[in-house]
Amino acid sequence: MIFADLVFIYMFLPVNLALYYLCKNKSYRNFILILFSLFFYSWGEPVWVCLLIFSSLVDYTCGLMIDKNRGKPMAKAAVFMSLLINLGLLGIFKYSGFFAENVNLLFGADLSIKRFALPVGISFYTFQTISYTVDVYRDETEVQHSFLNFLMYVSLYFQLVAGPIVRYRDVALEIDSRRETVNDFSHGLTRFCIGLTKKVMIANAAGKLSETYLHAVDGSLTVLGAWFGAILFSIQIYYDFSGYSDMAIGLGNMFGFHFLENFNYPYISKTVSEFWRRWHMSLGNFFRDYVYIPLGGNRRHQFLNLLAVWFLTGLWHGASWNFIVWGLFYCVFIVIEKIIGEKRLQKVPSFIMHIYLLLVVIVGWVLFYFEDLQQGIHYITVMFGNADALYNPNDIIDFYNNIIWAAVAVFFSTPVLKAAEKSFVNKSRYMDAFLGVVIPVINLILLVLCTSLLTGQSYNPFLYYKF
């Protein structure tokens, strides 16, 4: 099941909200969320619920062991056990087939390990449970004594299958004693409608159009067409993933949870380093706090630490060489920026830095898109002139037919509207009352438009579901 689905919007969510708010007991409310979350997760692959519950049980037990044996070798053993089991499961299901394929290729071996069907969301909830045990060991969060409450944290369907990666310490108080308010519910509903609109009206449209170019037959792709396809995919993946994050954060608000932001207008960045401080922030923060800093951070072996982080970032996204190359591709630019220095980069005109960033990111998304690395590299060569033609009439027609839509998509990927709204609200004492009337109307309009587009539409999962 996905959020951008009529069954979820008009059946699953209303029933969940009704039962949740009809129940006044806090413990029962948590139990209701567990049941609905497990049902949501098992909608397409019920067998993987067992793996989710097992991972939760492992880290719940490890947390108790750490808390009971602080300062003793058993505490370290519990952390090691958590890492071994969680990363072991992730390795078996996500990377064993990839490893076997490359061993066979390099050494002529005959390992017959096939790729497993990947449990949805395993990369996300594995990192969440690991962060819990490590934080308990570091004494940065208190241990959770209720297994059901811990299972609720791991299984919450709001962010289970595609993030954001929610650390236990950020929601610990809300798991045990949260307070739902009308204001939070209203903000959550608006955030959900915004995310749904991003997904249905922009990401889906961009994805459908981009396939015309990204899947073009050899020889038919022009330079302009290649750039058009890459830019469309860049729009698609931003609105797809940020739209999901908006919906996840909005759903959390409806039930009294406050998740940290996962996107902060990444396409307005001027450097690659800044881009990754704004894109998928929960993943970047995880690697910073649990890999980069423990390895030494900026203090020692900085470039080796960056290499390790970006190799793992690429590998986390998928068991394929294109993702590894994609991660290392970003590593190269970040290292170059570190060598040049932030002060020198600030002296370069902003528009030049912004163009540089967009070029790097757009090319990077091509590497990300094509799991066949050779195909991705070939596509990039076409973008830079390795084509039979610069453009053809169809490219021009598609460009003019979609220029307004694309301009709107680009506009809403910047904080211009948000800044204008804040400025206007601060200058008008009647704004709160005005928005109290207008926002529900806008939400209803957006919901009706998205519903009409979803009616009869084929299954279209979020891009990050497969990670």
Q: Give the tokens for residue 395.
A: 């490219």
- Give the DSSP per-residue string, 235-278: HHHHHHHHHHHHHHHHHHHHTT--PPPS-S-GGG-SSHHHHHHH
Concerning whether 317 is annotated as a catalytic residue, the answer is yes
Q: What are phi and psi for residue 143, nearest 5 degrees? A: -70, 145
* CA separation for the pair 389, 396 (Å, rounded): 13
**Tokens describing residue 466:** 């497969």
What's the CA dihedral at 345, 307, 269, 321 to 10 degrees?
Answer: 130
Is residue 90 within 8 A of residue 122, CB to CB? The reply is yes
Residue 249: phi and psi, rounded to 5, are -65, -40
User: What is the number of H-type helices and E-type strands within the chain?
Assistant: 23, 0
Alpha-carbon torsion 440, 446, 450, 451, what sign? positive
Under 8 Å between Cβ of 209 and 398: yes
- Please, are residues 359 and 353 in contact by the beta-carbon 8 Å criterion? no
End-to-end CA distance of the chain: 16
Q: What angle do CA 291, 292, 295 make, to 5 degrees?
A: 80
- In a 3-state reduction of DSSP, which class is residue 462? coil
Catalytic hit among 258, 317, 354, 378: 317
Indicate which residues carry an active-site annotation.
317
